[in-house]
Amino acid sequence: MGPTNTAIQSLAETFKALGDPTRLRLLAALAQEELCVCDLATLTEVSESAVSHSLRTLRQLRLVRHRKAGKIAYYRLDDDHVRRLIVEGLDHVSELVEVAG
């Protein structure tokens, strides 16, 4: 028996979210370490507002989670599944670039 329709729909929504380069850069950065919005904005060269909007989408899909320390929210990947998804995806496209290059 294959995956349920609900599982397929959830995966499609996840891949749709991963189709955005800004969100992918955020996830790649968070695969390295926990970061706050201001650090993510600096690393990705995107406004804090745009980072917050992207993080909201990623939180809704349970790809990232946050913790509050005073007024600052620190973000990290939700779990190791997300880390493996990002790392494997980057490994895959890196191999494609090497073969094409």
With a pLDDT cut of 90, the percent of the chain lying above it is 87
DSSP 8-state assignment for residue 87: H
The answer to whether the beta carbons of residues 73 and 67 sit under 8 Å apart is yes
Residue 95 pLDDT: 81
Which residue in this structure is represented by tokens 């970061």?
A: 35
Assign residue 44 the CATH number of its domain. Answer: 1.10.10.10
Cα distances (angstroms) measured from residue 51 to each of 3, 5, 43, 74, 93: 32, 31, 11, 12, 24
CA distances from 53 to 48, 87, 88 (A): 9, 23, 25
With a cut of 90, say whether residue 100 has pLDDT above it: no
Residue-range definition of the domain harbouring residue 13: 5-100
Does residue 3 carry a pLDDT above 70? yes
Q: What pLDDT, on a 0 to 100 scale, did the predictor assign at position 101?
A: 63
Q: Tell me the pTM.
A: 0.88
Structural domains of the chain, count: 1
